[in-house]
Amino acid sequence: MLMKNFRLLFIAVFLFSGVFVQGEIVASSTDSASVGQTSAAAAVQSAKDAVIPPVQDAAASTEQKAAIHPAKNEKPAMVPRGVDGKPLPDVNGKLTLEDCIQIALANSPKAVSAQLNLQNAHVNLNLAKSEFLPTVSAGASQGYNNGKTDGSSRTDHGASDVYAQAEISISGISDMVRNVKTQKLAVEQAELNLDSVKNDIIRTVKKNYYALLSAVRAVGIRTQSRDLYKDQYERSAEYFRLGLRPKVDVTTAEVNLNNEELSLIRAKNLVKTASAQLANSLGVTTPKILDIEDIVSFEKFDMPFDQAVQTAYANRPDVLSAQTDVRISQIKLNQAKAGFFPTFSFSAGFSKNGDDFSLDNEETKLLAAIEIPIFSAFKTYNGVKQAKISLENTLNSNRSLLNDVFLEVQSAYINMQEASESIPIAELNVEKAKENLDLSRGRYNEGIGDIIELKDAEVAYTDAELSLLTARYDYASAVADLKQAMGTN
């Protein structure tokens, strides 16, 4: 009957450990750092829905490998797939802003690294839970002995053994529970780090996308200006041929045209540079200029500053991660304080063995122990003191982070307001510069104005259009910076 009771107890321990691994056990009441279990469980669940998909299987066909060969610079060396398993948008086709964000999130090395860190955090959590599981093993052996001693006949015999055993050993149950809690919080932090990386990638892609659009539109403005100078040169040459204008007007018009041709070349090179920067933020390599959709108007951002700051405090992954650091420090402090209290350990085992598969011999072991600390050379005392200092340091770092977040949101908000207020003025300047250019052109054609006046009007009109272009895309970039600072990309 006693043996049967031991077996039942061992089975109960086995079931107990299995239930704990499934996350159904509530931490012991002695652990005051039980906060955060609900959010950690939610973090574990959301990790299963991570947005970063695995890269395409290396076992691709020969044609696929040739198509993405990095030496050819035709397509990126790494071609990941979307969440649904379908290929991502082709970088050689027409790309929208959402297409670029999708490619960057799947293909950026930073995003892949953050995803791997999240997977490693899940592995560490499983390792912490595995401490509550028993180990089961089985084996067999066969021995043979042939020997001869002086004065005796030769002996020849063999021996066999078959065994199966299961055992579980738990020492410091409360420490093991705290370790599981800590690893759950580490998973939560890894998820928050992944969100932070995603926000930074989205912000970078948006800014580079807007920079490329701005560069493309600048080429259009410079082309229009070049055409104006070309028309001016042709008119001056014709007026000189008719004897209506001096030779200096033709020379000046030609110099103006050549200078604008140089400005147009620089503007086209800026398009190539902006395209390369956008491609880099997407995690791809291509010698071609990316073909992106134009954005006619940008979303108006309307939110009071105080609300923007509170949104950042509530949503930013680094702020939430800092709060998780505080909870981890509290758990470590409780773990250090536990050194003043007794330590409980438990072990159980059951084995069967025999010289054949009947396994006629069996053994059951059960041990429960308690160890009371008496003197530890002040290690526990100093360990608690060190944990308190670590907690205070974490709290101080958290306060410093909140100050930095406030400053970041404030700077982005000021830049957004500046760009927003500049747009109406820049639009008015374009309108007035166009009127002045039309008047100057009419005066020159009538022989009243000179070529210097006309050039000044053309320069003012081109500069006004470029200023308006800069103001609009500065506003779009400032909104992207503000959303990233708020953690709402």
Please give the DSSP secondary-structure letter assigned to residue 87.
B
How many of the other CB atoms lie within 10 Å of CB of 289? 17
Q: What does each of the 489 residues of the chain score in pLDDT, given as a tens digit?
A: 434 444 444 444 444 444 444 443 333 333 333 333 333 333 333 333 333 333 333 333 333 333 333 333 344 334 444 544 567 888 888 999 999 999 998 888 888 899 999 999 999 999 988 888 888 888 887 777 777 777 777 776 667 778 788 888 777 778 888 889 999 999 999 999 999 999 999 999 999 999 999 999 999 999 998 998 898 888 888 878 888 778 888 888 889 899 999 999 999 999 999 999 999 999 888 889 999 998 877 778 888 999 999 999 999 999 999 999 999 999 988 888 888 888 888 788 888 887 766 777 888 888 888 878 887 778 888 888 999 999 999 999 999 999 999 999 999 999 999 989 999 999 999 999 999 988 888 887 777 777 888 888 888 999 999 999 999 888 988 998 898 899 887
Q: What is the pLDDT of residue 158?
A: 67
As a whole number of angstroms, the distance between CA 447 and CA 249 comes to: 12
pLDDT at 307: 92
Residue 446 in 3-state DSSP? coil
With 0-12 CB in 10 A as exposed, 13-18 as middle and 19+ as buried, what is 45?
Answer: exposed
Strands 135-147 and 291-292 turn out to be unpaired
Is 317 strand, coil or helix?
helix
Tokens coding 425: 């003025």
- pLDDT (0 to 100) of residue 21: 41
What's the CA gap between 471 and 455, in Å, rounded? 24
Q: 474: which residues sit within 8 A by CB, 6+ positions away?
A: 415, 418, 419, 422
Please, which contacts does 230-233 make with residues 24 or more away whose CB atoms are closer than 8 Å? 230/257, 232/256, 232/257, 232/451, 232/454, 232/455, 232/458, 233/257
The answer regarding whether domain 2-22+89-134+159-486 maps to CATH 1.20.1600.10 reads: yes
CA 458 to chain CA mean position, Å = 47
CB 452 within 8 A of CB 252: yes
Cβ pair 168, 348 in contact under 8 A: yes
Q: Which amino acid is at 14?
A: F
pTM for the whole thing?
0.68
429 contacts 402 by C-beta, under 8 angstroms: no
User: Can you spell out the DSSP letters for 461-487?
Assistant: HHHHHHHHHHHHHHHHHHHHHHHHHHT
Give the pLDDT score at 193: 92
H, E, C per residue of 159-208: EEEEEEEEEEEEECHHHHHHHHHHHHHHHHHHHHHHHHHHHHHHHHHHHH
Which pLDDT score is estimated for 357? Answer: 65
Helix (H) or strand (E) holding 435: helix 379-445
